[in-house]
Structure 1
Amino acid sequence: MTTEPAAVEYDGAGILDRVQATVQRYCILPNRHAVTAVTLFIAYTHAASVFDYAPRLVLSSPEKRSGKTRCLEIIGHLSHRPLWTANASTAALYRSLARPRTLLLDEADTVFGTRHKAEQNEDLRGLLNAGFQRGTPVIRYDASAKTVMELHTFAPVVLAAIGRLPDTVTDRAVNIAMRRRKPGEHVEPFRVTRDVEPLQALAYELDCWITDNHETLKHARPLLPVYDRAADLWEPLVAVADLASGRWPERARHAATGLTADAATADADHSPSHELLLDTRAVLEQFEGDFIPTEALISRLTRIPDSRWQDEGLTGRRLAILLRPYGITVGRANNRMRDRGYHHRDFRDAFARYLHTPEPTPGPGPAMRPQPADTTTQPPDQQEHV
C-alpha cells in the first residue's frame, strides 16, 4: 500500500519577510515602498510564466557608487533562472528565452545613454519593450535557413543605470531611485564564496512556494489602486502579496500607489506638456471666471515658485503648441473679442484623462490562498552568464 506524501504548507508571508531581510542586509533602498517592491519583484520572477505581463525593475541613480550593482546582484541570486547579460549579444539573448528567465542588465546607461548609443542598440531596446507582454515575439529572417523565425522575448528584466533610461523602458518598469549611503548607514559585505549558498537556498524555498501556487496566481485578479499601464506592472506583484497574506497585501498596495505617484512626478519633470497641465490646473483653481486671457495665464505660470517657466520663458505661441496635443486651443472671450485666451471648460477633458486620481481597477478582491499541495519543484537552475 502506497502512502501519499504529506502536503507541504508554506508560510508565504514568512518567506517574503526573509527575502526582505536578506535584501536589506546587503542593500540600502530609499524607502519602505522600494523595499516592498524589490521583495515582491523577486518573488514574482518565480511565477512569471503564469502572468500576461513581465514588469521591469529599474534601479537608477544620479551618480555611481549608489548600490545599484550590489542590489542587482542580490536580486539575481534570489530570482528565477537569472541570466546576466553583460556583453551579451542581442541574438544570444533572444535564443535564451524559450522559457522565461530573469534578465539582469548592469550599466544600462552605456546602452541607452546617448542618442547614438540608443540607435546602436535598437534591437536590445526592441527586446526589452516587446518582452513586457506575453505573445509579442520578434520576427527575424534566417537567411541561411531561408525561413522566418519567431523569437521569444517575454521575461522579467532588472536594469541598473546612472541617469534616466528611455521613456519606453521606464514606462514599463517599477522605478527605484537609488542613493549613495550616508555615514552611519551600514550594510554587510557580500562575498560570493560565502554568501551565495544561503541565498540560493532561500530562492529554492521561494520557488517551491510560488510554484505550488501557480494555478492560484494564474487566475488571480487582485483589486488594484492604480490603473492602465501601472496596473499591468503591479498586478503580478500584488497577486503575490495577496497570496502571502499577512501585512503584505496592504504594503503592496501602498507601494503601488507611492511609486506610481513618484513616477508621475518624474514624468512631469521630464515632459513640459504634462508639467504645463499640472501648473495650469493649479492656476485655474485660484482663478475666478471661465475665461483666462493668454497673458494672464502666462503671468501666473511664470510666478509659480521653481517652475520651469521662470527659467525657460513662456510665450503665447509656445503655450498654444504645448496645449494643442491635448485638444486645447486658444479662443476668444464672448464679451471681449480682442482678448485671446482659454476657456476653463476646454481643460476639463485633459485634466480628467491625464491628471485624475485613479480609481481602483475592478476585480473580485485579493487572491484566495489555496490548500497546500505536494511539492515536486526541483531546485532552481544555477545562474548562467551569457
Structure 2
Amino acid sequence: MSIPVRTLPFDHPGPLEPCPEYAELRTGTPVAPVMTPDGRRAWLVTSYDAVAAVLSDARFGMAPPGATSAGNHTLFQDGEAHARLRRLVSKAFTPRRIATLRPRVEELAVEYTAALAAAGPPADLIAGLAAPLPLRVIGELLGVTIDGSERFRELADTASSADFSAAGDSAEVAAATRAWHDLTLYAADLVAGKRRSPGDDLLSGLITVRDGDDGRLSDDELVGMSTTIVAAGYLTTRNAIGVGTIQLIAEGRLARLADAPEELEGVVEELLRHQSGLTAEPFPRWAHEDLELAGVAIRAGDPVLVRLEAANRDPRHFPEPDRFLPGRQGSSPHLGFGRGPHHCLGAALARIELRAAFRAVARQLPGLRLGVPVDRLVWARGQNDAGPTEVSVTW
C-alpha cells in the first residue's frame, strides 16, 4: 500500500500543544515519508522506540555518507573524529566540575530574579531572567571576563537570532552569519588568552586536558568547542526557562516549588518531556547504509528527521502522555537530551539552571502570572530551536 507523502512543517493548534499529525503517524506509520520545506524527500520518525533507535545507532550520521568533515572542529560530526573529541571534552566537562557550579548558578538565578522583582511589573521574563542566566553561566564557564561579557552577550544573542534554514539571503540571516563569524574570532582570542594565562574555568581545562591516545585539542577544536557550547547551551536553555515558567503558571504549580526541592526534580523532568520538540529538536540524521527501521526500508543517503515532540508523548511509554504528571511511575526516560553518542554533554548543567531559575522565581515571585494570553506570545522558530521572544509577566 502506498503511503501518502506529507509536507512539513505541520501546524501547532497552540504554542504549547503538539501537532495532532504526530499522534496519527506514531500510531499507524511511525516512519513516514515527508517533503521538507525546501523540497527534499525525507523520513519522519515519531515513535519513541524508533526515535531512540535512530539516535543510538551509529549507522545514522550527522552528515550524509561520504561527506568530508574537513573544517568541522565541533562535536557535530560522526565516527572516530566525534568519539575522540567527546573523550577529550569529557575529561574536562566532568560531573564533578558541573556539580561545583550549582551554588554559583543558584546565586545568579536569585540575583536576576531579585532585579526583576525590584524593577516592578510588568516585566519581560526572557530579558530579565531566561536569557541572561544561561548566557552568564556560559560566559563564566568559558572564563569570559567582566569587561568582555557585554560583547560576548551581544554576539551570542545576534548569532542565535536567525533561522539559517530560511529561504533567501535575508538581512536577519546575514546578520546572524556575521555574528557567528565574529563570535568565532572572539573565541579564538579567548583561547589565546587562556593559553597565556589559564584560570579555573572549563576552557582552561580543555586547553590542558591530554590523553595518551587522543593527544590534545587543537586551537581550531577549542574554538569549535567554545562556539558549540554557546550554540547548544544558550538558546535551548533560554527557551526552556521561558516555556517552563509559562507551563508552571498554567498548571498552578509555581508557588509550590518555593520550599519543595523534593518536587522540583520531578517537575523539571516533566517540563523537559512536555516541551521537547516545542523548543528544540535534534539535527537531521542520514542513513549511512541500507537498513530497516520499524519495518521500513531506509536507503543509504536518505535523510531522517526524528521528532522528540512525538516520541516523548508516545502512550506506550508515557501513560496519559498529554497530562502534566511530575514523578511519573513506570514511564521510560524522556529523550529531551537525546540518546546515544550525541547525548547532550550539557544535560546536567541545563538541569541545574532550570531548577535554580524555577526555585528563585517561586520564592521571590510566587504570584507570577502572564501579562498577555499564551496565544498572543510571539515565537521565534529556527531550524532546530523555538521559543517566545518576549514573555510579559506581572505579579
TM-score (norm 1): 0.23
Q: Which has the larger radius of gyration?
A: 1
